[in-house]
């Protein structure tokens, strides 16, 4: 299988979308697929307004399409709705190429939170962008229902996994935890208004609060909450030790489509305290691995009593191998659609009567 994967989110960005895409690409290549990644790192780029760590690729008209055709791609997957995604979408429609998309980010909620943009306007754009796709890949059935309520019906499940070799209990705590009063309450994610981190910081709770991540709200929150340890962005073994050395994972976001950090935390043996919203409801649910409650303080106190083994057991149900197989099945379906269309075009070229009809 030859696949072009187009994404405006890519390394060196550190977030769940990038980890999901990079893991999927690596595993598909290990299965023998020929994957072309069309991402901002191969173009000149500009910083995204208010999100300078996100780079917006600058391309010449037709450049993305030429790359897809030069690769001989049998399928195109468009992961994001930014400049590269738009260029790939334009090319596929012009060429009659079927393509798949994925829905990673609730941009209507984000844009409303940051700029008060009416959510209806964002959903109009998303319906236009994703509407022609052969399939829209979503992380949970709950998200599929939400998209269907906005007129996007052709969804397929693409779940998420966790690297149990990397994220595991028993790792030595990081040096930054030395001297912190227990329990250590950890939150990991982008430090931005849409992640609702201030709800965690403002909630009375015992012990110490630690935030791992970077983002546009970091300087402001660091100044207003000097008692909180802001560790910045961590990756690899440093991130795994930050999880394993904490006592509880607090997830205050109300807008995530999945929350990959939830699975990483549970794999590290951390119970979860969160709101009862999409993401935590899908990943934690009523498993006993966490407490979901509208009063985040009550959720924290109750979740501190959960055994770490309960969190680990829930995480072990999330497999990257199964998730990549779901993705692969959706792409192969698109490959078959492209092959049928190619055969039909060939037949029409050979039979003038059909061509006139």
Non-local (6+) Cβ contacts of 130 within 8 A are 81, 101, 103, 136, 147, 152
Residue 108 in contact with residue 123, Cβ under 8 Å?
yes
**pTM (2 d.p.):** 0.89
Q: What is the dihedral sign for C-alpha 22, 260, 286, 140?
A: negative
> Which CATH number is 175-315 given?
3.40.50.2000
CA–CA distance, 301 with 339 (Å, rounded to integer): 56
**Domain 2-161+320-356 annotated CATH 3.90.850.10:** no
User: Is residue 288's pLDDT more than 90?
Assistant: yes
CA–CA distance, 277 with 29 (Å, rounded to integer): 35
User: Is residue 356's pLDDT more than 60?
Assistant: no
Take residue 153 and report the two structure tokens written for it: 């019906």
Per CATH, 2-161+320-356 and 175-315 having the same topology is answered yes
- Hey, where are the domains in the chain? 2-161+320-356, 175-315
What are the pLDDT digits (tens) for 214-271? 999 999 999 999 999 999 999 999 999 999 999 999 999 999 999 999 999 999 999 9
Please state, for a pLDDT cut of 70, what percent of the chain lies above it.
Answer: 95
């Amino acid at each position: 299988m030859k696949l072009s994967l187009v994404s405006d989110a890519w390394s060196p960005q550190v977030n769940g979308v990038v980890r999901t895409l990079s893991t999927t690409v690596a595993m598909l290549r290990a299965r023998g697929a020929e994957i072309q990644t069309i991402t901002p790192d191969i173009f000149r780029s500009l910083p995204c307004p208010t999100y300078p760590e996100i780079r917006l690729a600058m391309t010449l008209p037709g450049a993305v399409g030429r790359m897809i055709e030069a690769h001989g791609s049998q399928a195109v997957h468009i992961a994001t709705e930014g400049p590269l995604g738009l260029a790939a979408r334009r090319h596929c429609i012009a060429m009659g190429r079927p393509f798949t998309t994925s829905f990673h980010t609730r941009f209507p909620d984000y844009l409303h939170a940051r700029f008060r943009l009416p959510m209806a306007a964002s959903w109009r754009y998303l319906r236009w962008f994703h509407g022609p796709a052969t399939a829209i890949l979503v992380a949970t059935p709950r998200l599929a229902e939400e998209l269907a309520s906005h007129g996007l019906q052709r969804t397929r499940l693409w779940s998420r996994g966790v690297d149990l070799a990397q994220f595991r209990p028993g790792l030595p705590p990081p040096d930054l935890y030395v001297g912190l009063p227990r329990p250590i309450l950890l939150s990991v994610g982008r430090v931005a208004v849409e992640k609702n981190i201030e709800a965690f910081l403002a909630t009375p709770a015992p012990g110490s609060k630690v935030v791992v991540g970077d983002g546009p709200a970091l300087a402001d929150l660091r100044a207003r909450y000097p008692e909180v340890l802001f560790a910045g962005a961590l990756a690899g073994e440093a991130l795994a030790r930050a999880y394993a050395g904490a006592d509880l994972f607090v997830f205050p976001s109300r807008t995530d489509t999945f929350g990959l950090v939830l699975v990483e935390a549970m794999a590290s043996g951390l119970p979860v305290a969160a709101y009862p919203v999409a993401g935590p409801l899908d990943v934690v649910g009523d498993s006993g691995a966490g407490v979901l409650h509208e009063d985040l303080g009550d959720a924290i106190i109750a979740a501190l009593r959960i055994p770490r083994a309960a969190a680990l057991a829930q995480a072990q149900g999330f497999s990257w191998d199964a998730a990549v197989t779901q993705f692969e099945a959706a792409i192969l379906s698109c490959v078959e659609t492209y092959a049928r269309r190619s055969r039909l075009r060939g037949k029409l070229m050979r039979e003038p009567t059909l061509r006139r009809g």
